[in-house]
Amino acid sequence: MISLKSPREIEAMRQSGQIIAGMHHMLRDLIKPGLDTWEIETKSREYIESHGGVPLQIGFEGFKYATTISINNEVAHGLPRKGLKLKNGDLVKVDTVVGLNGAVSDSAWSYVAGEASPEVKELMAVAKKSMYLGIDQAVVGNRIGDIGNAIEQYTEVEHHYGDVRQYIGHGVGPTMHEEPQVPHYGKPGHGVRLREGMVITIEPMINMGGWEVDTDSTEEDGWTVSTHDGSWSAQYEHTLAITKDGPKILTSQDPEFDAKYL
């Protein structure tokens, strides 16, 4: 069942989302070559909790950490690992979910430790823009397929990257994962129709190579998913509300850049 949120509930989710946004601002300065990935976990958890939030990934289906930290060819669900030091040029994706007085928000971002190669810069730029192209389609009366098609056309048809199929966006609140499912590929005019009050995530995972992922990689730690062909992957994710005035980003890190979505 899809739950529709009131303006009061959406505002509460925005306040939750601003804790995540602040955490990501902190990570911009923290992530650098030589950093132990465990410090990303501990500093992120400290930030969330010191601002009154609850790191909701802890305990979800047995997960033990506030963040997932996926590096280079790891697509999603990577574990924080003590003793794993970042190297110059590593592509790091950090994802978290925060609760604040019962309001839930979810956001992931990509970072580079040190200097990014031109190829990684391009991958990150395409992945980030594809998220915003999807957000632009998140308007009342459109369908879920309009979101996915915009992302698929930009990433695969225009840029020949792999647009991951196995992991998708979703509704948010009152729990972490709600209906509707929000694939990042699809046919325009197909799928669930978007209604005022829906709150969803759009979180494309874009690979330099093919879109296939290797779920066998989860056998080692039960969680980490990597690209099938070993190519590197980038991800960006916002939580947003569908309103009569267009999509409103609830996890914005940049009020100037996101002005039309606030």
- Binding-site annotation: residue ranges for a divalent metal cation: 95, 106, 170, 203, 237
Cα 121 from Cα 124, distance rounded (Å): 5
Beta bridge partners of 237: 108
C-alpha 243 chain-centroid distance:
21
Cα 94 from Cα 19, distance rounded (Å): 14
Q: Are 62 and 53 in contact (CB under 8 A)?
A: no
Annotated binding site for substrate: 77, 177
Contacts 24+ apart (CB under 8 A), 111-118: 111/27, 111/28, 111/31, 112/31, 113/31, 113/32, 113/33, 113/35, 113/86, 113/87, 113/88, 113/89, 114/32, 114/33, 114/87, 114/88, 114/89, 114/90, 115/88, 115/89, 116/89, 116/91, 117/89
| Structure tokens given for 201 | 């995530």
Cα 259 from Cα 248, distance rounded (Å): 10
Annotated binding site: 77, 95, 106, 170, 177, 203, 237
